[in-house]
Amino acid sequence: MKILDRLLVLSPFTFVSGGLIRRRQTEQRIFKERIIGGFRAPIGRFPYAVSLQSPDGALFCGGSLIAPDVVLSAAHCAGGSYDVVIGRYDLGSGEGDVVPMQREVTHPEYNPSNTDNDFNLIFLDRPTTAAVAIVKLNKESFVPSAQDPVTVMGWGDTAQSDFVQELSDILRSVQVTVVSNDECAASRGWVGWFNYQSYEGSITQNMLCARGSNADSCQGDSGGPLVVEGSDPSGADDLQVGVVSWGIGCANSEFPGVYSRISAAYEWIRSEVCSRSSDPPSYFQCYSVEGDSPVPVPLPSATAPLSAFTATTPPPSPRDGWADILEENFDGNFGQFNAGGVDVMYYPSVMKRNGVVRIQNNGEGSTLYSNKLTLDRSFSRFRVTFSFYSNSMEIFSDSFCLDVMADEAGWTEEKCWLSFFDFRNDQWYDETVEFTVGRADSLRIRFRCAATSEYDDVLFDTVKLEGYA
């Protein structure tokens, strides 16, 4: 039930460099990208609110500064290269500090199918030079309670209609009221004339709901903060309780906005920030306990490059047994792959990714297949890791498949991924699949679109093939 998270989709077609990606607007669940019913935020009141901007300077999501070199945002905003703009109240101005994103760490239990644990930590290329307050994160699961007032903020379209855009360069905020998860899960009603929707089964304990009178966050505001306001006009004692995530409609009287609940991910956020940030906030108490004495956790030098300490797992070594056979990121066209059939397209940049290839159904379906790969040793098994994005694939009927050819002996279907059960439209996925082929001197892999319409597309960003000796 999701519409594309990082593009405003106002027509059935989205134009991109190199061609046309087609999409249908049949789903009503959307990621939040604008403030409805709010007002211009007081200058300097929410300095920790930041904007995420693509290389062309376009806002696509929000976030909050939680350490001088760390921003908290939504997992559904992750992917691609972008800048974080800190301390810029008016996006039309040149104020503030623009810092490149260095690394993203999404919540390990983020589920793109139901948007559970929609958290993304963005580690910056350097600490910000902007003199702004960071926001403190909520640790207590019972804060806030139902009926408590909370405030959400962001930049973007201020019109409630999905067919009108009224963009604002100025940071806007609006106060909404917390709704219990039970009441939120019971939400149901009509969206438009013929579309009856329900939150039943969609609200988890990792989510928090809030609604206002003709007030809401909606489509640009994704990843932004939901806070309990403190008394300090600089925002220094505000408490962030949620991250803008998703909802049905915008300011719909039947459906509250849904936010990721900070307290549910607090210990994960604290652990990641303590181990990766050059200047974690003091309230995180980044130390361990040995005996009866607190022992500081070793932290990297503030002058050390972030790349020196951001790896969560070391790269595979020969002792792991896995050896690289093929790795293609499509930065310079098809690379080690070939196009099969018509309607195979290469995009230098699309959907916030650089170097993307597309296959689609065209009657027989188009394919993307690798060169013949000579195997210099005997492998007992193989694994393929790849990033993909589907567009307009119809649930229960459309799929795409991975085929394998050993020693040029013909294609064998290895695995297929079915729409709805294995993936949803309009979001990037990272997938890994293992397989065996027996003794072989050469190998090819192929991705094949097995859909039902010429509008059904599958995009690929990176593909890696490894063998286990």
Structure-block tokens of residue 25? 């607007």
Q: Note if 118 is an active site residue.
A: yes
Please tell me which residue in 5, 69, 118, 398 is annotated as part of the active site. 118
The string of DSSP codes covering 370-421 is EPPEE-SS--SEEEEEEEEEEESPPTTT-EEEEEEEETTS--EEEEEEEBTT
DSSP symbol at 424: -
Please tell me which residue in 5, 69, 76, 217 is annotated as part of the active site. 76
Backbone angles phi, psi at 406, to 5 degrees: -105, 130
Pairing of strands 97-106, 83-86: antiparallel
Instruction: Report the distance separating Cα 218 and Cα 237, nearest Å.
Output: 26
Residues 346 and 333: beta-carbon distance below 8 Å:
yes
Q: Note if 76 is an active site residue.
A: yes
Q: Label residue 215 left, alpha or beta by phi (over 0 means left) and psi (-120 to 50 means alpha).
A: beta
At position 266, the amino acid (one-letter code) is: Y
**Residue for token pair 């059939």:** 341
State the DSSP H helix or E strand holding residue 266, giving kind and residue range, or none if neither: helix 262-276
Convert 339-352 into a string of H (helix), E (strand) and C (coil). EECCCCEEEEEECC
Please tell me which residue in 64, 187, 202, 222 is annotated as part of the active site. 222
Q: What is the largest CA-CA distance in the chain?
A: 72
- Torsion of the alpha carbons at 186, 423, 25 and 60, rounded to the nearest 10: 90
Tell me the CA end-to-end span of the chain in Å, nearest whole number: 42
Q: Note if 317 is an active site residue.
A: no
Q: How far, CA to CA in Å, does 98 sit from each of 24, 53, 91, 315?
A: 35, 9, 12, 30
Residues 461 and 429: beta-carbon distance below 8 Å:
no
Residues with a catalytic annotation lie at: 76, 118, 222
